[in-house]
Amino acid sequence: MRVVAVLAIGGLALSAAACGSKPASNNGSSGGKKYKACMVTDTGGIDDKSFNTSAWAGLQAAKKDNADIDIKYVTSAAETNYEPNLNALVAEKCDLVVAVGGLMGDATKAAATKNPNQKFAIIDSKIDLANVYSMQFNTAQAGFLAGYLAAGTSKSGTVATWGGLKIPPVTIFMDGFAEGVAEYNKVKSKTVKVLGWDNKTQEGTFAGSFNDQNKGKQITDGFVAQGADVVMPVAGGAGQGSAAAAQASGGKLAVIWVDQDGCDSVKQYCPVFLSTVVKNISDAVKDAALKGAKGESLTGSYTGTLANNGVSLAPFHEYDSKVPADLKKELDQLKADIGSGKIKIESPAQPK
């Protein structure tokens, strides 16, 4: 989703920026040369329970597998600080500098152009430079499954989705969701409505923030007033506003989370999570760091799909008994049909 941006502190304030603690594990240590893998979050911050948290978990997992990897993150306080933060990590001699989020595309391209011998990686953007490894995720595919699931479990016949910002890493989720609902309507001859996004006009509802939970709850309450009983926020931490609204609804509203399985990342809200559209950022970042530490070349790009488990639909957890067995089978078949190309998703935000 989430595309989600992270707050940058800026070059001058970099020394005061929050740095992640390093895991104590020495597993995998070879006593060899240290490899420094660093990360710049976007404005959502390290604890957004979404894509920044996922990226950091990936570096932590790489460190656990190879103790010769040192890891660090810097939190961004504003978009204008992205490039200074990236350049500062280059100055600190990080072997790999990971930019988290599509909003860092321009800053990463500028920093990579300025530092051609430095290896960068970026999430949710594709940069055609030899020293940038691009990691993208076709979340429209898993979003399609989520839309079909939402339509298949809705009692009111109205579901909703909304975003943090109107950017491709966000709208790609919403496109898939709307197409999944449309597929359900076609197959079942139903008329389930989608509030918050029109994938044909590419217009919808956005909070203007990945952090404002109050705004998220306000948006969600508005959808509930219009009859929605399933909602998918694509808004990082702001999406917790939807979870809070569902928690207060007494079981009348279910939430589909994004990025990390909500029952792992926002455990207090697990009872209201129908499922999660998972963007497997953690494994992609982990693999990049491990390859870099081994001296393997990080070139080109990676695209996460349903077929390679780069994106997925999470377990139903506490909703498992409420999802009909026939619907579960249909979702499995849809996953196979998307993987084979039998079902084609039309989102203009899909990785090219």
Rounded Cα distance between 86 and 320, Å, is 43
Mean pLDDT of the chain: 91
Residue percentage of the chain with pLDDT more than 90: 86
Give the tens place of pLDDT for each residue, 88-120: 999 999 999 999 999 999 999 999 999 999 999
Residue percentage of the chain with pLDDT more than 70: 91
Integer-rounded Cα Rg, in Å, for the chain is 20
- Give Cα 318 distance to the centre of its chain: 22
Q: How far apart are the first and last CA of the chain?
A: 17
pLDDT for 27 beyond 50: no
CA distances to 170, 222, 234, 237, 251 from 269, in Å:
22, 20, 16, 13, 12
Q: Which amino acid is at 47?
A: D
Q: Which amino acid is at 132?
A: V
| Residue 93 burial (CB count, 10 A) | 9
pLDDT at 352: 83
The answer to whether the beta carbons of residues 88 and 9 sit under 8 Å apart is no
pLDDT for 23 beyond 80: no
pLDDT at 12: 33
Rounded Cα distance between 313 and 56, Å, is 21
Give the tens place of pLDDT for each residue, 59-90: 999 999 999 999 999 999 999 999 999 999 99
Could you give phi then psi for residue 77, rounded to 5 degrees?
-95, -20
pLDDT for 266 beyond 90: yes
Give the tens place of pLDDT for each residue, 136-182: 999 999 999 999 999 999 999 999 999 999 999 999 999 999 999 99
- Cβ neighbors of 275 (< 8 A, separation 6 or more) are 146, 149, 256, 257, 313, 314, 315, 316, 317, 319
pLDDT at 190: 98
pLDDT at 32: 67
The answer to whether the beta carbons of residues 94 and 36 sit under 8 Å apart is yes
The DSSP secondary-structure symbol of 350 reads S
The answer to whether the beta carbons of residues 101 and 169 sit under 8 Å apart is yes
pLDDT at 33: 85
pLDDT for 128 beyond 80: yes
> How many residues does the structure list for the chain?
352
pLDDT at 183: 98
Whether the full predicted model's pTM is greater than 0.85, yes or no, is yes
**pLDDT band at 330, cuts 50/70/90?**
very high
pLDDT for 311 beyond 60: yes
